């Protein structure tokens, strides 16, 4: 099979096309013909081994490869079609279109992928293309996790910092679906997209620092690791919730103090990316409550450009790599 691989850590140019053996499923596994995979910020960070949050650098280096990557095929979020199932698999059948997460197995940048049938997998709703389906799991699962943790009530004011990325575009939609008033913070070039997804107000962070405004919020979802903790907390209302998607170790410690000595809460629990959550997203996609947000689709031969697009922070939603030949 063809796969996008990297043999060393570095810039986007380390990505290259190569031939790799097609895997065979074990008794509890399904073999998936991958048609599309999201190129995520995590993929770019793993490829370069440069992270905005440094505290997990050493454990990841030990787990994933000290001098070079142990797993050379990136890609954790994908859509494809099941071609074969193991003898013990009962919940999926060949021919079904599926989307989901390969977790720390990665491998979705290859034409074929083997995963246990109890992984975070679900069938693709009718009418959704492979590219659209691949754009959902990362952003959708994480957005749903944080919105659930926030316990949003109808009429509450929610601010999403970094709203134009993979997670933010789905968080805007889910918050609006739950009746919140949503303020989206990102670059001005993403304003039209964010308003189209339901944002009531869009702040261009290059022009305005929302922390200096007299406005306050019941919930702040923050995807920006460099956000100042104290100033952000001051933009939160009493009993407000501050959710950090990329917390530094210091912010994690500060959040504990906040929860003990304040009516506010600061939360950093990482998403479990469960099958139940993916089935919830599946239902929301089927009913039209949620829509996939695709920025651009690149062929495998342009994976370098796909990663550059993600790293530029100019994308309007998810960047997707088409794996193999084009199929709907």
Q: Answer yes or no: are the C-beta atoms of 156 and 218 closer than 8 Å.
A: yes
Instruction: Indicate if 11 and 126 belong to the same structural domain.
Output: yes
Instruction: Indicate if 132 and 10 belong to the same structural domain.
Output: yes
Instruction: Indicate if 164 and 126 belong to the same structural domain.
Output: no
Instruction: Indicate if 187 and 201 belong to the same structural domain.
Output: yes
The CATH code of the domain that includes 190 is 3.40.50.720
Instruction: Indicate if 220 and 189 belong to the same structural domain.
Output: yes
Which structural domain, as residue segments, surrounds residue 39? 2-136+293-322
Band of the pLDDT at 53, cuts 50, 70, 90? Answer: low
Instruction: Indicate if 68 and 171 belong to the same structural domain.
Output: no
Q: Tally the domains of the chain.
A: 2
pLDDT of residue 59: 72
CA-to-CA distance for 184 and 159, rounded, in angstroms?
6
In a domain, 15, yes or no: yes
- State what percent of residues in the chain have pLDDT above 70: 97
pLDDT of residue 27: 98
pTM of this structure: 0.92
What average pLDDT does range 232-242 have in this prediction? 95
Q: Answer yes or no: are the C-beta atoms of 187 and 206 closer than 8 Å.
A: yes
Q: 54-113, pLDDT tens digit by residue?
A: 666 667 777 778 788 989 999 999 999 999 999 999 999 999 999 999 998 999 999 999
CA-to-CA distance for 18 and 291, rounded, in angstroms?
34
Residues shown for the chain: 328
Q: Answer yes or no: are the C-beta atoms of 43 and 76 closer than 8 Å.
A: yes
The CATH code of the domain that includes 316 is 3.90.180.10
How far CA 181 is from CA of 152, 192, 217, 238, 318, in Å, comes to 10, 17, 10, 17, 24
Residue of 10, 14, 112, 9 lying closest to 64 (CA atoms): 9
Q: Are strands 294-299 and 318-322 parallel, antiparallel or unpaired?
A: parallel
């Amino acid at each position: 099979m063809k796969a996008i691989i990297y043999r060393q850590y570095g810039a986007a140019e380390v990505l290259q096309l190569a031939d790799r053996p097609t895997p065979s499923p074990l008794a509890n596994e399904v073999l998936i013909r991958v048609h599309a995979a999201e190129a995520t910020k995590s993929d770019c960070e793993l490829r370069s081994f440069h992270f905005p949050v440094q505290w997990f650098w050493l454990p990841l280096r030990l787990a994933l490869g000290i001098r070079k990557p142990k797993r050379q095929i990136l890609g954790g979020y994908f859509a494809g079609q099941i071609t074969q199932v193991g003898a013990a698999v009962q919940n999926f059948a060949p021919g079904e279109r599926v989307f989901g997460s390969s977790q720390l197995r990665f491998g979705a940048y290859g034409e074929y992928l083997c995963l246990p049938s109890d992984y975070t997998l679900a069938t693709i709703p009718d009418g959704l293309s492979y590219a659209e389906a691949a754009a959902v799991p990362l952003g959708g699962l994480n957005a749903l996790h944080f919105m659930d943790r926030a316990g949003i009530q109808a009429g509450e004011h929610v601010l999403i910092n970094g709203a134009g990325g993979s997670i933010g575009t789905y968080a805007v939609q889910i918050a609006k679906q739950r009746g919140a008033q949503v303020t989206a913070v990102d670059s001005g070039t993403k304003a039209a997209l964010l308003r189209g997804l339901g944002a009531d107000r869009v702040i261009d962070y290059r022009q305005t620092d929302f922390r200096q405004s007299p406005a306050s919020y019941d919930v702040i979802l923050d995807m920006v690791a460099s956000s100042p903790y104290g100033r952000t907390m001051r933009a939160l209302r009493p009993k407000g919730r501050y959710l950090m998607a990329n917390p530094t170790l210091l912010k994690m410690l500060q959040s504990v103090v906040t929860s003990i000595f304040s009516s506010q809460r600061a939360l950093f629990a990482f998403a479990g990316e469960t099958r139940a959550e993916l089935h919830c997203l599946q239902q929301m996609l089927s009913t039209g409550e949620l829509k996939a947000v695709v920025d651009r689709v690149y062929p495998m031969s342009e994976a370098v450009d796909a990663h550059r697009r993600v790293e530029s922070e100019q994308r309007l939603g998810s960047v997707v790599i088409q794996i193999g030949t084009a199929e709907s």
